């Protein structure tokens, strides 16, 4: 498909062939905005589903205004997302799923890989998703690092490729580095390690999340930090490692260290604001939500590093013709900056930083991405003040945070066994 | 009888039969079939394996979880039955005017106008460490430290079950009581029975179908529940349905299906036992 502003592209647009929205953009070098996008997708409806975090109505509205594409969003919880992706492949056009579950979903032959040549900003995508290395000298973290599942061997293939190919499985939407959240007013001591959650002082005031595949990783970070054991790969444990981790969790649970285990975003927010727990696994926007209620909460950087996760958009296998072209338009629009800025302002990271930067103020960019103190008030995309002037983001800059990832959310080879053991832990 | 008449009854039951076939028999048959399938990380493989059942039944977790689920069901029944019976008795025999009966009965159902998830989670701020209950008790000087067992414990799970499901006990028992011929009570009184004797020898036996129906509701709902257990125990307790949900979240449908079949058998046995005690059809 023609992306450069050349005659061929124009003619195709004029002919009314769907899907060459990019032809109306200035050539790559001149990226001044407001961008005028071609409006030849008026009758196209794309059905997208995913978790609530990136499925936002604002994005659908802006997409309609810019591209003319009607985006029908369905927000589900992460379990339901996986089930729908695999069992009802005709019920969606675009799947917004996480990288770790992509390892399971993609081989089920329900999605189609994208040709990187049609992805305009492909070269500018943060290299975590392509080479796997944030910087050329970075070491790839443990677990299902996105680059492992980002490429398949060819068009129509469902086999993940070892290195980079022209066939990209998912366009990264949002990703982040997770750590423990604390109540600085209630912990009464310095917190700098995952093992601090085991401090007897916090007995009955801690929580970890009860999503087996993610909870086990937090547990592994804790076990390793506490010197209980050392893992070959936390994202792909052996049976012996799983046994030992779960045994330790059961012992800790029986000792009454945990107040609760949470499964949804709001549960984690409520546990923290109500003072039921003072230190727990948390997601970044949950910390923001706690603070928004006037309750102090810190997303504490820890010396062992972060547990990272990421989500992406995959195209349904059944897409073809005008709809497939529209989907590429949507993806290219998604990466062109507005969405990236919108997501960055919520504390997530977006796929293409250079384009997102153009849609953010210098102060916003400094606060969210560079770890600089805010010069003015920092507002959420909805216009609500979430940080006052002078605030600094917990954990610092993008490179400080994403550069300190110890492991990625993962799906293990022994996941069948792991879930059995996890059930044992919950039932214990 | 003419031969043409023979198929007419079948035609008459056909609509109901089709509905049952489509929405009950076929789904359950599918679950049973899938429970013998094999699976790996990405796909479900048609097969005939006993592995799902072997793994399930060999695991001590399964037994602990089933025991826990049955325990919840029994405790909930032990509480909802006397509460439900008392409420129904009050409505049926103490409230004399039919208008007031209707009004009070409607009052009982008002909480059901809201979602049961809302009714469930509204207990959380009440029972929490800094919640209303603990604050009140501490201000009154009755306790000095917050009672931690109030929330995220088996206590809170059962409390919510009782709150949510007592009405399922009230309605059928109330219905049975309203069908009792009042002259029977007068006869008992004339024959010199005390109030207690009337209750145990006349009312209770005549309410058996209502009690059985209410019990079936409560027991089956509690045994199949996973939301209440998860929310109110804060994930610290398990239930059978929660085990299935965990398995499904990692696409382990055959394992979940095997568990579903075992649970179904257990529930059917329980209901079957109840039906043996009370013949619902005979006494309706």
Where exactly are the structural domains of chain A? 38-169+308-335, 178-305+404-427
Angle at A229 between CA A226 and CA A234, to 5 degrees: 100
**What is residue A110's predicted lDDT score, i.e. its pLDDT?**
93
Nearest to A276 among B55, B128, B250 (CB): B128
All structural domains of chain B: 49-113+167-283 (1.10.3720.10)
Q: Give yes or no for a contact between B121 and A262, defined as CB atoms under 8 angstroms apart.
A: no
- Of B162, B168, B167, B165, the C-alpha closest to B75 is B162
Note the pLDDT of residue A2. 37
Give the residues across from A49 on adjacent strands: A74, A95
What is the average pLDDT across B61-65?
88
Tell me the shortest Cα–Cα distance from B150 to chain A, in angstroms.
12
Closest CA of chain A from B148, distance in Å: 9
CB spacing of B236 vs A422 below 8 angstroms? no
**Please, what is the angle between helix A415-427 and helix A239-254, to 10°?**
10
Q: What ipTM does the predicted assembly reach? A: 0.72
Is A264 in the B-facing interface, judged by CB distances under 8 Å?
A: no
pLDDT grade for A31, boundaries at 50, 70 and 90:
very low
Q: What is the rounded CA–CA span in Å between residue A145 and residue A283?
A: 18
Residue range B234-251: average pLDDT?
Answer: 84
For residue A27, report the phi and psi dihedrals to the nearest 5 degrees. -65, 160
Residue B96 has phi, psi (to 5 degrees) of -85, -40
CATH superfamily, region A178-305+404-427: Periplasmic binding protein-like II (3.40.190.10)
Chosen for mutation from A423, A424, A428 (greatest number of chain B CBs closer than 10 Å) is A423
A212/B246 CB distance under 8 A = yes
Q: Give yes or no for B54 touching A (CB within 8 A).
A: no
What is the rounded CA–CA span in Å between residue A405 and residue B24?
49
Q: Give backbone dihedrals phi and psi of A25, rounded to 5 degrees, phi first.
A: -80, 155
Q: How many CB atoms lie within 10 A of CB A115?
A: 14
The CATH topology of domain A38-169+308-335 is D-Maltodextrin-Binding Protein; domain 2 (3.40.190)
Number of residues written out for chain B: 284
> How far does CA B208 lie from the centroid of its chain?
17
Q: Is A206 helix (H, G, I), strand (E, B) or coil?
A: strand
Report how far residue B4's alpha carbon sits from residue A426's, in angstroms, rounded to the nearest whole number.
61
Nearest to B236 among A107, A261, A423 (CB): A261
State the DSSP code for B203: I
Judge whether A411 is closer than 8 Å to chain B, CB to CB.
Answer: yes
Distance from B231 to chain A by nearest Cα, in Å? 8
The model's confidence at residue B278, banded by pLDDT at 50, 70 and 90, is: confident
Q: Which of A313, A319, A318, A321 is nearest to A339 (CA)?
A: A313
Higher pLDDT, residue B7 or B250? B7
Cα B134 to the chain's mean position, in Å? 30
Q: CA-to-CA distance for A391 and A162, rounded, in angstroms?
A: 42
The answer to whether B240 contacts chain A (CB < 8 Å) is no
- Cα A341 from Cα A145, distance rounded (Å): 24
Say if CB A412 and CB A236 are below 8 A apart: yes
- The answer to whether the Cβ–Cβ distance between B238 and A416 falls below 8 Å is no
B169 touches chain A (CB under 8 A): no
Mean pLDDT, range A327-355, rounded to an integer? 93
Q: Read off the pLDDT of each residue in A17-29 and give the average, rounded to a whole number.
A: 38
pLDDT band for position A282 (cuts 50, 70, 90): very high
Report pLDDT digits (tens) over B191-218. 999 989 999 999 999 999 999 999 999 9
- CB B250 to CB A424 under 8 A? no
Indicate whether B262 pLDDT > 70.
yes
pLDDT of residue B41: 63
Residue A27 has pLDDT above 80, yes or no: no
Q: Which helix (H) or strand (E) holds A189?
A: none
pTM over 0.90: no
The proportion of chain B whose per-residue pLDDT surpasses 90, expressed as a percent, equals 59
- Which tops the pLDDT comparison, A426 or A349? A349
pLDDT tens profile A47-57: 999 886 777 88
Residues of B in contact with A275 (CB under 8 A): 129-130
């Amino acid at each position: 498909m023609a992306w450069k502003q050349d005659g061929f592209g124009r003619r195709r647009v004029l002919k009314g062939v769907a899907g060459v929205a990019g032809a109306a953009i200035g050539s790559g070098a001149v990226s001044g905005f407001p961008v005028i996008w071609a409006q030849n997708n008026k009758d196209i409806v794309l059905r997208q589903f995913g978790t609530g975090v990136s499925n936002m109505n604002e994005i659908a509205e802006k997409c309609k205004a810019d591209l003319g594409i009607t985006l029908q969003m369905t927000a589900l919880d992460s379990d339901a997302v996986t089930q729908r992706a695999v069992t009802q492949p005709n019920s969606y056009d675009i799947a917004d799923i996480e990288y770790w579950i992509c390892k399971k979903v993609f081989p089920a032959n329900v999605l189609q890989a994208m040709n990187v040549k049609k992805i305009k900003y492909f070269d500018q995508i943060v290299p975590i998703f392509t080479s796997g290395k944030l910087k050329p000298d970075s070491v790839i973290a443990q677990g299902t690092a996105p680059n492992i599942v980002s490429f398949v061997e060819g068009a129509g293939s469902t086999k993940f490729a070892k290195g980079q190919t022209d066939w990209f499985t998912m366009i990264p939407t949002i990703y982040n580095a997770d750590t423990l959240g604390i109540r600085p007013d209630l912990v009464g001591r310095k917190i700098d390690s995952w093992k601090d959650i085991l401090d007897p002082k916090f007995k009955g005031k801690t929580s970890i999340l009860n999503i087996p595949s993610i909870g086990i990783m937090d547990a592994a970070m804790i076990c390793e930090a506490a010197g209980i054991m050392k893992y070959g790969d936390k994202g792909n444990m052996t049976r012996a490692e799983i046994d030992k981790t779960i045994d330790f969790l059961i012992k800790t649970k029986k000792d009454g260290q945990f107040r609760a285990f949470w499964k949804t975003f709001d549960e984690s927010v409520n546990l923290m604001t109500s003072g039921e727990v003072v230190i727990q696994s948390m997601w970044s926007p949950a910390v923001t939500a706690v603070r928004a209620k006037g309750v102090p909460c810190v997303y504490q950087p820890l010396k062992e590093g972060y547990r990272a996760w990421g989500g992406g958009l995959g195209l349904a296998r059944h897409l073809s013709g005008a709809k497939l072209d529209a989907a590429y338009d949507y993806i290219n629009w998604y990466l062109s900056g507005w969405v990236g800025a919108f997501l960055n302002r919520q504390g997530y990271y977006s796929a293409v930083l250079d384009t997102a930067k153009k849609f953010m103020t210098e102060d916003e960019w400094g606060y969210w991405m560079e770890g600089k103190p805010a010069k003015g008030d920092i507002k959420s995309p909805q216009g609500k003040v979430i940080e006052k002037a002078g605030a600094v983001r917990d954990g610092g800059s993008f490179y400080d945070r994403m550069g300190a990832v110890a492991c990625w959310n993962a799906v293990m080879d022994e996941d069948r066994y792991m879930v059995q053991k996890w059930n044992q832990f919950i039932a214990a | 009888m003419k031969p043409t008449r023979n198929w007419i009854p079948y035609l008459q039951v056909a609509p109901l039969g089709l509905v049952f076939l489509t929405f009950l028999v076929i789904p359950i048959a599918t679950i049973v079939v899938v429970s013998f399938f094999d699976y790996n990380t990405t796909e479900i493989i048609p097969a005939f394996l006993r592995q799902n059942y072997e793994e399930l039944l060999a695991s001590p977790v399964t037994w602990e979880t089933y025991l826990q689920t049955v325990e919840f069901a029994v405790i909930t029944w032990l509480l909802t039955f006397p509460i439900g019976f008392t409420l129904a008795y009050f409505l049926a025999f103490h409230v004399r005017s039919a208008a007031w009966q209707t009004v009070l009965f409607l009052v009982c159902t008002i909480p059901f106008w809201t979602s049961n998830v809302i009714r469930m989670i509204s207990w959380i701020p009440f029972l929490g460490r800094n919640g209303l209950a603990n604050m009140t008790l501490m201000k009154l000087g009755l306790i000095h430290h917050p009672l931690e067992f109030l929330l995220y414990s088996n206590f809170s799970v059962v409390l919510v079950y009782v709150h949510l499901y007592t009405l399922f006990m009230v309605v059928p028992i109330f219905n049975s009581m309203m069908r009792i011929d009042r002259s029977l009570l007068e006869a008992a009184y004339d024959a010199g029975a005390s109030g207690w004797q009337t209750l145990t020898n006349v009312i209770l036996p005549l309410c058996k179908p209502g009690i059985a129906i209410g019990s079936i509701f409560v027991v089956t709902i509690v045994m199949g529940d996973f939301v209440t257990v998860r929310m109110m125990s804060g994930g610290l307790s398990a239930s059978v349905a929660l085990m299935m949900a965990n398995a499904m979240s990692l696409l382990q449908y055959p394992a979940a299906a095997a568990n579903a079949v075992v649970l179904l058998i257990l529930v059917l046995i329980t209901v079957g036992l109840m039906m043996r005690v009370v013949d619902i059809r005979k006494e309706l």
